[in-house]
Structure 1
Amino acid sequence: MFGDMMGMMSKIKETQEKVEATKERLKTVLIDEQSSDGLLKVTVTATNEIKNISIADELLEDKEQLEDYLVLTLNKAITKATGINEAELAAVAKDGMPDIPGLDMFK
């Protein structure tokens, strides 16, 4: 029984390390998104850090339109980034969970 407990603790520690490594890797995963007409382009990381915004000159003439474009396009990019982030971390956590009888919520 003690050996099983040590094995589980080791597996949990290994999973924590994998989760941290995955979090670091997700900082480098880039998601590109653009407005439907391509006038605004944004790049964010899978950790929701904005890396780049490219604005067509014609959008600079209408502040209100530019603001709308920014909100819509950034929200789409953040939604994609969040989905990637959550899926990657869930996969690592699920893969690394020890088999504990009666605790099969990750299966």
Structure 2
Amino acid sequence: MDLMGMMGKLKETQQKIEDTKKRLDTVLIDEQSSDGLLKVTLTANRTIKSITIDDSLLEDKEQLEDYMILVMNKAIEKATKSNEAELDAVAKMDMPMIPGMDNLFK
């Protein structure tokens, strides 16, 4: 077992994971309420970039709060799936299969 080669590969993979995380900052996920009155954009790293609220929602605080929770959760779920798929792809592509190593990047 070539330990030095494996360590080098590990470093390389960590670098690729960092690069992927940086790139995910530029991947935008849009989500909106079914009627389009509330729109949210966030990065695949789950950083909120913009929120657009239709004026009609400003008259109903409870509805606005419900919309926020619903739309944000959907957007975060989408971003998380995108994030995990990208990082999994990098890890699987580059990792030598060492038992137990796949839990390292979770």
TM above 0.5: yes
Residue 77 of structure 2 aligns with which residue?
79
Residue 32 of structure 2 aligns with which residue?
34
Q: Note the C-alpha offset of 1:99.
A: 4.3
Flag structure 2 segments of 5+ consecutive residues without an equivalent.
none
1:92 corresponds to 2:90: yes
Q: TM-score, normalised by structure 2?
A: 0.89
Q: TM-score, normalised by structure 1?
A: 0.88
Q: Which has the larger radius of gyration?
A: 1
Question: 2-side partners of 1:10 and 1:105: how far apart?
Answer: 15
Q: Note the C-alpha offset of 1:105.
A: 7.5
Q: Note the C-alpha offset of 1:104.
A: 8.3
Residue 22 of structure 2 aligns with which residue?
24
Q: 1:47 aligns with which of 33, 45, 48?
A: 45
Residue 56 of structure 1 aligns with which residue?
54
With over 3 angstroms needed to count, the CA separation of the structure-2 counterparts of 1:12 and 1:71, relative to structure 1, is same
Code of the residue aligned with 1:10 in structure 2: it is G
Question: 2-side partners of 1:24 and 1:99: how far apart?
Answer: 25
